Amino acid sequence: MSLDARVPIGPLSEKWTKCKNELKLVSPTNKRKYDIIVIGSGLAGASAAASLGELGYNVKVFCFQDSPRRAHSIAAQGGINAAKNYQNDGDSVGRLFYDTVKGGDFRAREANVYRLAEVSANIIDQCVAQGVPFAREYGGTLANRTFGGVLVSRTFYARGQTGQQLLLGAYSSLMRQVERGKVKLYSRHEMLDLVLVDGVARGVIARDLTNGNFEKHAAHAVLLCTGGYSNVFYLSTNAKGCNATAIWRAYKRGAYFGNPCFTQIHPTSIPQHGDYQSKLTLMSESLRNDGRVWVPKQKGDKRRPEAIPEGERDYYLERKYPTYGNMVPRDVASRNAKAVCDEGRGVSETGQAVYLDFADAIKRDGREVIRQKYGNLFHMYEKITGENPYHTPMKIYPAPHYTMGGLWVDYHLESTIPGLFVLGEANFSDHGANRLGASALMQGLADGYFIAPYTVGHHLAGRKLPKVSTDGPEFEEALRAAKGRVDRLLKINGKRSVDSFHRELGRIMWDKCGMSRSEAGLKEAIAKIRALREEFWNNVKIPGGNAELNQSLEQAGRVADFIELGELMCRDALNRRESCGGHFREESQTEENEAKRDDENYLYVSAWQHQGDDKEPTLHKEPLAFESIHLTQRSYK
């Protein structure tokens, strides 16, 4: 099958308008005849479900948490980008588009990114209309701040809780549709399989996590809005429950997986401490607006940070990148932190940390100004580390945070399975090989509020979708498969906990497929992951049964999928013998150890097709063509 991205022809700035004009419409009275399933209730899922409900479709929303309001979008701190140019600093749709494509190291689909920039302004309008309490100036207008990789202030924020407020906005719209009877909620439910009828996505198999009941749900379209897969690294900034099961089952049913190796390691997380650690906590990138990153010039300098005089400190980002300084994109900041730690100049007991210092900002602006901007983050930092960042520099280190890769989708956000749409972080589309700060919220809401509601309608109006019954053979087969898998897991009754497998997988991925990747390392990782998978299916221990709330069982299913996904990530990383964005191949670097892209050979999206559990997946390539942008090696100097 050849990949048709369905990008409209014509000038970049007119593509989305043209596309919308040509999309088929479902008449208002017919909308109530269509059922739509939305998996996941984060920004993408909640906004899509609310919008589709408003239009009159019958929507079912599934989430594994006890309430849709808990989806992990809620934890995004810093803000959301939009090309409003409210600061009169020369921002525009074109500039947001360019920054995003460049930030992604020219590995995103140009037309998708342009559309994202185009609708960004509508998102802010919509959120304000919903009552999202964005930060304001005294005159009552919206406030902005700046983020990494850009030279304008286009980021809108609600203290350090922007994700929370945007999600609660989408959640409130969603609950309004629940009240109207247009959306039905299935919380504490997990999707375990996708059901295809005549090659079209027509339903899902879900498990009620409170009692283990398997359910069959039919629909005319299925939307996966289940976020990313950073938890493949075990330790990440994701919530503990974040998982790849829905997209992985869809992959196994035929949806292609796009750029699985493109993962983002965020530069400013609280460093790891003990073996019992369960997650890494992010400190918002916005802190880099006022914090200065440094390490001692001397290797192994064990003095307290305050005791190290100015002249013996290396503000390495300011030194190497004078234009962007501490605000370089995330991949650049992370790689440089790793480099100085590898040189032996890292701080803290582990040597795996760098300082983020607010002393100068506090001296310049006063403690109160800093408290107003970052109070909750400082508070959180102190809670976790027991150190007060008003007095001593924060210690930070990179952590897995976001996955640019995801299921391959075309311009309609439809996967290679007709009727299966993928929104938000779960798809691969807009961020290329590295995502800029404050762009994830933008993409989730763009997909859910402004894109999917149109394109899903086109699918419904344009395809023949005969009535399907959940008693049909396809549903029965998928149900048997899902049940069989759970039975198999419960029967293993081995010796090792699910968590121990997850940790081991995480270590392999972090060491070999993390911030730095090499051919030898990746091959080794693939072999180790295969062995781990073998052991998992023979030696995992899951207490309890199916017919109850069983958190070990839930986790086991997710870890089993992560193990398989980890292998695909390594395979993709192995194939891409260039460095780009967050994907750094040791074999491909410049003399200054910066990432070296290879546009001649790798100017494409990798789209992997599943061929069977023990067969190698097939690689398809979607070539990337840049009509309006001149390709350059990124420079933030």
Partner 1 sequence: MEKKLNLTLKIWRQKGPQAQGRLVTYPVQGVSTDASFLEMLDVLNEELLKKGEEPVAFDHDCREGICGMCSLMINGQTHGPDRETTTCQLHMRRFKDGDTIVIEPWRAKSFPILKDLVVDRTAFDRVIAAGGYASVNVGNAQDANCILVGKESADRAMDAAACIGCGACVASCKNASAMLFVAAKVTHFAELPQGQPERYKRAQAMVAQMDAEGFGGCTNTYECEAACPAGIQVTTIAKLNREYLKSSFAYAEESKSSEGEG
Distance between CA atoms of residues 46 and 31, nearest Å? 19
| Minimum separation from the CB atom of position 377 to partner 1 (A) | 11
| Minimum separation from the CB atom of position 125 to partner 1 (A) | 4
Among 17, 30, 67, 601, binds partner 1 (CB under 8 A): 67
φ, ψ of residue 108 in degrees (nearest 5): -105, 165
Residue 428 contacts partner 1 per CB under 8 A: no
Per-residue mark of binding to partner 1, 497-536 (x: CB under 8 A): x-xx------------------------------------
- DSSP secondary-structure letter at 595? B
The identity of residue 172, as a single letter, is S
Total of chain residues touching partner 1, rule CB under 8 A: 81
| Minimum separation from the CB atom of position 551 to partner 1 (A) | 6
Q: Footprint of partner 1 on residues 215-254 (CB under 8 A)?
A: 239-241
| Minimum separation from the CB atom of position 129 to partner 1 (A) | 4
Residue 125 contacts partner 1 per CB under 8 A: yes
Residue 614 contacts partner 1 per CB under 8 A: no
Residue 168 contacts partner 1 per CB under 8 A: yes
Work out the number of other CB atoms within 10 angstroms of the CB of residue 8. 17
Residue closer to partner 1 (CB basis): 496 or 530: 496
**Is 303 in the active site?**
no
Q: Is the distance from CB of 187 to CB of 209 less than 8 angstroms?
A: no
The identity of residue 521, as a single letter, is G
Work out the number of other CB atoms within 10 angstroms of the CB of residue 507. 15
Among 22, 28, 278, 473, binds partner 1 (CB under 8 A): 278
Nearest CA to 542 among 483, 502, 481, 489? Answer: 489
Decide: residue 212, CB within 10 A, 0-12 exposed, 13-18 middle, 19+ buried. Answer: middle
Residue 136 contacts partner 1 per CB under 8 A: yes
Q: What is the three-class DSSP state of 189?
A: strand
Stretch that binds partner 1, among 44-52, 510-518, 527-535, 624-632 (CB under 8 A): 44-52
| Minimum separation from the CB atom of position 48 to partner 1 (A) | 10
SS (H, E, C) 226-250: CCCCHHHHCCCCCCCCCCCHHHHHH
Residue closer to partner 1 (CB basis): 369 or 549: 549
Per-residue mark of binding to partner 1, 257-276 (x: CB under 8 A): ----------------xx-x
Q: Is the distance from CB of 219 to CB of 61 less than 8 angstroms?
A: no
Distance between CA atoms of residues 431 and 107, nearest Å? 8
Q: What is the three-class DSSP state of 87?
A: coil
Among 15, 31, 72, 217, binds partner 1 (CB under 8 A): 72
Q: Footprint of partner 1 on residues 376-395 (CB under 8 A)?
A: 379-380, 383-384, 386
Residue 28 contacts partner 1 per CB under 8 A: no
Q: Which residues pair with 356 in a beta bridge?
A: 293, 394
| Minimum separation from the CB atom of position 42 to partner 1 (A) | 11
Residue 609 contacts partner 1 per CB under 8 A: no
Distance between CA atoms of residues 34 and 58, nearest Å? 6
| Minimum separation from the CB atom of position 302 to partner 1 (A) | 15
Determine which one of 154, 330, 435, 585 is catalytic. 330
Stretch that binds partner 1, among 125-133, 334-342, 355-363, 516-524 (CB under 8 A): 125-133
| Minimum separation from the CB atom of position 401 to partner 1 (A) | 12
Q: How far is CA 83 from CA 74, 97, 107, 166, 450, in A?
A: 23, 9, 21, 17, 16
Distance between CA atoms of residues 565 and 613, nearest Å? 12
Distance between CA atoms of residues 323 and 637, nearest Å? 5
The distance between the two most distant Cα atoms of the chain, rounded to a whole number of Å, is 74
Both tokens assigned to 529: 């992951």
What's the Rg (C-alpha) of the chain? 24
| Minimum separation from the CB atom of position 238 to partner 1 (A) | 8
Among 100, 112, 120, 126, binds partner 1 (CB under 8 A): 126
Distance between CA atoms of residues 287 and 376, nearest Å? 12
Among 145, 541, 596, 621, binds partner 1 (CB under 8 A): 541
Q: Footprint of partner 1 on residues 176-215 (CB under 8 A)?
A: 176, 178-179, 185, 187, 210
Per-residue mark of binding to partner 1, 360-379 (x: CB under 8 A): -------------------x
φ, ψ of residue 337 in degrees (nearest 5): -65, -45
| Minimum separation from the CB atom of position 197 to partner 1 (A) | 30
| Minimum separation from the CB atom of position 553 to partner 1 (A) | 11
Residue closer to partner 1 (CB basis): 139 or 311: 139
Q: Is the distance from CB of 64 to CB of 554 less than 8 angstroms?
A: yes
Residue 68 contacts partner 1 per CB under 8 A: yes
Residue 456 contacts partner 1 per CB under 8 A: no
Stretch that binds partner 1, among 28-36, 161-169, 522-530, 612-620 (CB under 8 A): 161-169
Residue closer to partner 1 (CB basis): 441 or 573: 441
Distance between CA atoms of residues 373 and 376, nearest Å? 8
Residues 6+ apart with CB under 8 A from 366: none
Residue closer to partner 1 (CB basis): 90 or 140: 140
Residue closer to partner 1 (CB basis): 322 or 543: 543
Helical spans, DSSP H, in 222-350? 245-252, 316-320, 330-342
Among 3, 142, 339, 619, binds partner 1 (CB under 8 A): 142
Distance between CA atoms of residues 556 and 74, nearest Å? 25
Residue 281 contacts partner 1 per CB under 8 A: yes
Stretch that binds partner 1, among 194-202, 304-312, 496-504, 609-617 (CB under 8 A): 496-504
Residue 13 contacts partner 1 per CB under 8 A: no
Work out the number of other CB atoms within 10 angstroms of the CB of residue 491. 8
Q: Footprint of partner 1 on residues 326-355 (CB under 8 A)?
A: none
Residue 466 contacts partner 1 per CB under 8 A: no
Q: Is the distance from CB of 433 to CB of 602 less than 8 angstroms?
A: no
Q: Specify the DSSP element, H or E, that contains 562.
A: helix 551-575
In the Cβ-directed half-sphere of 585, how many Cα atoms lie within 13 Å?
23
Stretch that binds partner 1, among 26-34, 124-132, 556-564, 618-626 (CB under 8 A): 124-132
List the catalytic residues. 330
